[in-house]
Amino acid sequence: MNSMKSTFAILVLAALAASCEQKRTASQQLEKIESETKDALQEMQDYTFSQRSEFTAKMRVQLAEIKSDLDQLEAKIEKTSDAAKAEAKTKLKALREQESQLNKQMDDVADATESTWDDVKMGAKEAYHALKDGFQQSRQWLSEKAAP
């Protein structure tokens, strides 16, 4: 169940990072993220137990993308003021811990049985929302602190 949460969180981070790389207004970024999140959640809900290996492979790719996005966020943090940097690093550490939990949850996804499949997917959905919200808040906070 923890692996699914991690997977969903990673999907959110990937969507957020992609949005943040483009020069858009905050409201445009949020609209795009919400749309991508809804699409990702719908797609995840459509996976059946027989498609578990496909789901796992896709989520591993998403995890790798999220890691990359977090690395980019970390690089941006290094360019902020010392005062903002300390707080941003705390926020980033929490996101990295959530990312780590999602990696562990992927093991649960891979080991899920037909009887546990729906619970594993639900757990992933909850973790996805938690990480998505945390990442959005961190990106917003950083954009406010780093604004000229």
Question: Tens place of pLDDT for every residue, the chain, 148 residues?
Answer: 555 555 555 555 555 555 454 444 555 655 666 666 666 655 555 788 888 888 778 877 877 887 887 888 888 888 888 888 888 888 889 999 988 888 888 788 888 999 999 888 777 777 777 777 777 788 788 878 765 5
Task: Please give the model's pTM, rounded to 2 decimal places.
Answer: 0.63
pLDDT computed for residue 113 by the predictor: 93
Place of tokens 């990937």: 14
Contact 52, 102 (CB under 8 A): no
pLDDT computed for residue 34 by the predictor: 64
CA 105 to chain centre: 13
Q: Mind listing the domains of the chain with CATH numbers? A: 2-146 (1.20.120)
Q: Is the dihedral of CA 54, 92, 23, 39 positive or negative?
A: positive
pLDDT computed for residue 22 by the predictor: 45
pLDDT computed for residue 8 by the predictor: 54
pLDDT computed for residue 107 by the predictor: 81
Burial class of 129 by CB neighbour count within 10 A (0 to 12, 13 to 18, 19+): middle
